């Protein structure tokens, strides 16, 4: 049974080359370190926002 013209199965799948194959070890290490720093910064920000929200709940504004 044939589906309409939007049938996507006929499209060839692109073969993805892992980025790690394109980068040197130094580049991978540097990017991994940047990722860790960004993640730590984001988590710190979220923790701060969560703490502020909890403080607001404890002390309802008049």
Q: What is the pLDDT of residues 7-57, one digit of tens each?
A: 556 666 667 766 556 778 898 899 999 999 999 999 999 999 999 999 988
User: Is the pLDDT higher at 2 or at 23?
Assistant: 23
End-to-end Cα spacing for the chain: 68
Question: What's the token pair of residue 57?
Answer: 């709940």
User: 47 near 39, Cβ under 8 Å?
Assistant: no
Q: What is the dihedral of CA 49, 51, 53, 57, to 10 degrees?
A: 180
For the entire predicted model, the pTM comes to 0.48
Other C-beta atoms closer than 10 Å to the C-beta of 57 total 8
Coil, helix or strand at residue 33 = helix
């Amino acid at each position: 049974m044939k589906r309409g013209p939007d049938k996507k199965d006929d499209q060839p799948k692109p073969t993805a080359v892992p980025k790690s194959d394109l980068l040197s070890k130094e580049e991978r290490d540097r990017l991994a370190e940047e990722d860790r720093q960004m993640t730590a910064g984001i988590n710190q920000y979220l923790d701060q926002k969560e703490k502020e929200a909890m403080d607001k709940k404890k002390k309802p504004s008049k």
